[in-house]
Amino acid sequence: MPSGKRARQQRQATAATAPPPVRSKSGGGARARQASPRALAIGGGIALAIIVAIVLGVVLSSGGGSGSSGGIVSSNDMQDLPATGSQSSAAAVPGASEANKLFKGIPQKGLTLGDPKAPVTMEMFIDVRCPVCQNYEVTQIPSVVKKYIANGKVQLHLKPWAFLGPQSLTGRRGVIAAANQNKGFEYAKLLYDNQGSEATQWLTGREMALLAASVNGLNMAQWRDDVNASSSEATAKGVDQLAKQKNVSATPTIFVGPTGGKLQDASGSSYNPAAVVQALNAAIANS
């Protein structure tokens, strides 16, 4: 198996020759969000759901595309990895130190980050393979965490949705499994910091395990068991149901509003980080 750094180098070489999956609009800095297949092809939605379900069944029995048996993440995927995740591990992926530092000392409970008494809630639907989500996570989330969440003004609810294929379905369970140990946000940031090309099937069971091995204090055996557990799939289906209820059709979709009150879609038709900041400031001013 290639090391974390070598695997990353291989993906970077591939990404360098592949066309970008999402292009910025001219002026204003807004970008079109990744649209759901249901929004792009409503007439084929039922057929698509059937195909994805069949493919997911195959993936679940083949280790998430890693070439090894035993679940989404198998014992083969865990070879040579530490029992407990660490940014200092030889297997740690690039950006491990920064990701662990960003969330250090901030309360986490499951898929929620920040003070549970924070007056403003930010709810974010993402796909682990979405390049626009990656852009938001890398360029915007650090400042949101430092300016709004670390000081107790905002709590962030992460909703790992999936529509970009089988590895979105299996990959989000890595986030959910890490969240079971209150380390889902570190895992999600590392995933986006090391995201491969959307045109490739880069998010294998081995890659998921390398990301987990880079999260300080993560119990690797428990994480692997949780990835493969039916309870993680139940959590994922709960996200799907909420996305349907809220008519989410693209990622990232970000809702902002008073905690316990009605949240409004701050994303609009295009991904515009400035609009999210405006919504956060307005909600805080009114809290």
pLDDT digits (tens, 9 = 90+) for 2-39: 444 444 544 444 444 443 333 223 233 455 666 654 44
The whole-number average pLDDT for the span 156-165 is 95
pLDDT above 80 for 286: yes
The predicted structure's pLDDT at residue 39: 44
The predicted structure's pLDDT at residue 55: 43
3-state secondary structure the chain: CCCHHHHHHHHHHHHHHCCCCCCECCCCCCEECEECHHHHCHHHHHHHHHHHHHHHHHHHCCCCCCCCCCCCCCCHHHCCCCCECCCCCCCCCCCHHHHHHHHCCCCEECCEECCCCCCEEEEEEEECCCHHHHHHHHHCHHHHHHHHHCCCCEEEEEEEECCCCHHHHHHHHHHHHHHCCCCHHHHHHHHHHCCCCCCCCCCCHHHHHHHHCCCCCCEHHHHHHHHHCHHHHHHHHHHHHHHHHCCCCEECEEEEEECCCCCEECCCCEECHHHHHHHHHHHHHCC
pLDDT above 70 for 68: no
pTM for this one?
0.81
Residues 197, 131: Cα–Cα separation, whole Å = 8
Cβ atoms of residues 208 and 175 within 8 Å: no
pLDDT digits (tens, 9 = 90+) for 24-33: 232 334 556 6
Length of the chain: 287
Q: Which residue has the higher pLDDT, 37 or 152?
A: 152
The whole-number average pLDDT for the span 240-258 is 96
**Ordered structural domains, the chain, with CATH:** 34-285 (3.40.30.10)
